[in-house]
Amino acid sequence: MNRREFLTHSAAICSAGWLANCLPAPAGEDIPELKITPLTIPLPIEREFTALHISDTHLVYADQRDSERQRTHALERLEVFGGRPLEMLQASLRYAEEKGELLLHTGDMIDYVTAKNLDLTREAFAGRDCFASAGNHDFYPTQGDGPREDEEYKAIAYDKVQAVFPNNLRFSSRVIGGVNFVVFDDVFYYVADDLVDRFKAEAAKGLPIVAMCHCPLYTRELFEYCAGSNRDGVAYIVGASDEEMAHYPKWCFQWGYNEQRTTPATGAFLDYLREEKALKAILCGHLHFPWQGRFSETATQYIAGGNFSGQANEIRFVPAA
Ligand SMILES: [Fe+2]
Ligand SMILES: [Fe+2]
């Protein structure tokens, strides 16, 4: 069986509903090895705890409840993501479970909305100690239509998607081990108008904040790294200036992609965040490779690579000396 036939066969199995009850995978199956990046984040907390931070799983499955177009598209996208995003997710879930780790997912759990992908997402999060932010792909009703990436577009599938996630995707906070994890929505390169006020209310709680979003936040270092290493010169991060984006190709600004331009609310939020001393870390994804760099005087930004290829950040939150 060649690779194409194998992928077709695999997706056909998915279409038959075989995967409906396969999270987590039973012991002894062929579970792929993860590429773990170990990280340590010192915080003013009393006891150490560990989290597995994964992102960008890009589940790409469809079954008889989905349209023929969605099923066909699933086959193509499965190949784009290496053929085994579900197996990589299963391996990650198992790893976190066996080590008793908190699971953090920072978006693009699914590649585009299908009944099958929503089921798999529900099963992945259900009954698990986890916290999650959304990604741009989580709201694509059908990949390949030319996403508009605005609030109207997000609303098409929002309720269905929100229903299978463990927490509110627009804004959530949860205190774990003395750390205030704060989720916010930046999936289409902009944030909500009231985010500064909501974030200030979290900072007033007096706990160290670990923020979770999807698209990385601008620093000059990250912009140069991304724009320099991507063939199209696009950085795919939040908060770059118009001047810095002047060389972006035209396609970035069609289909509503103009949201890569920094809105006034987004600029104000980033200005505030750079000065917010309660902020200690930002966890995100979207770029499909792991990276870390200083964001502000008090905070470092940690990007998890693509979980579809088995990448994961294992983070030890330790008491600061
Ligand atoms: Fe992604
Ligand atoms: Fe993304």
Question: What confidence tens digit (pLDDT) does each residue in 36-63 have?
Answer: 999 999 999 999 999 999 999 999 999 9
Please report the pLDDT score of residue 249 as a whole number: 81
Given a cut of 70, the residues of the chain with pLDDT beneath it are 1-30, 143-147, 253-259
Whether residue 256 contacts residue 150, with contact meaning beta carbons closer than 8 Å, is answered with yes
How distant is the alpha carbon of residue 119 from its chain centre?
A: 18
Residue % of the chain over a pLDDT of 70: 87
In total, how many domains does the chain have?
A: 1
Question: Which of the ligands is closest to the CA of residue 189?
Answer: 2
> How far is 106 from 92, CA to CA, in rounded Å?
14
CA of 59 to the centre of ligand 1 (A): 10
For residues 95 and 88, give the distance between their C-alpha atoms in angstroms, rounded to a whole number.
10
Give the pLDDT confidence score for residue 319 in this predicted structure.
Answer: 98
Q: What angle do CA 5, 11, 17 make, to 5 degrees?
A: 140
CA of 44 to the centre of ligand 1 (A): 32
- The pTM (predicted TM-score) of the whole model is 0.90
Which pLDDT value is given to residue 81?
96
Distance 95 CA to ligand 1 centre (A): 21
Q: How far apart are CA 310 and CA 321, in angstroms?
A: 32
176 alpha-carbon distance from chain centroid: 20
State the CATH number of the domain containing residue 31.
3.30.750.180
How many Å is the Cα radius of gyration of the chain?
A: 19
How far is ligand 1, taken at its centre, from the CA of residue 290, in Å? Answer: 12
CB 291 within 8 A of CB 236: no
How far does residue 75's CA lie from ligand 1's centre (Å)?
17
Distance 225 CA to ligand 2 centre (A): 17
How far, in Å, is the centroid of ligand 2 from the Cα of 215? 7
- The pLDDT, as a whole number, for residue 259 is 57
CA of 287 to the centre of ligand 2 (A): 7
Distance CA 135, CA 189 (A): 10
Residue 83 · residue 61 · CB < 8 Å: no
Ligand 2 midpoint to CA 204 (Å): 30
What is the number of the ligand closest to the CA of 215?
2
Q: Which residue do the tokens 């081990």 mark? A: 177
197-253 pLDDT per residue, tens? 999 999 999 999 999 999 999 999 999 999 998 888 899 999 999 899 888 887 776
Provide the edge-to-edge strand list for the sheet that holds 291-294.
171-176, 179-184, 209-212, 279-284, 300-303, 291-294
Query: 141 CA to middle of ligand 2, Å?
Result: 14
Q: How far apart are CA 140 and CA 144, in angstroms?
A: 9
Which ligand is the nearest neighbour of the Cα of 236?
2
Separation of alpha carbons 109 and 112, rounded Å? 9
* Ramachandran quadrant class, 71 (left: phi over 0; alpha: psi -120 to 50; beta: rest): alpha
- Residue 247 is predicted with a pLDDT of 87
Cα(244)–Cα(64) distance, integer angstroms: 46
Q: Which domain holds residue 115?
A: 3-319
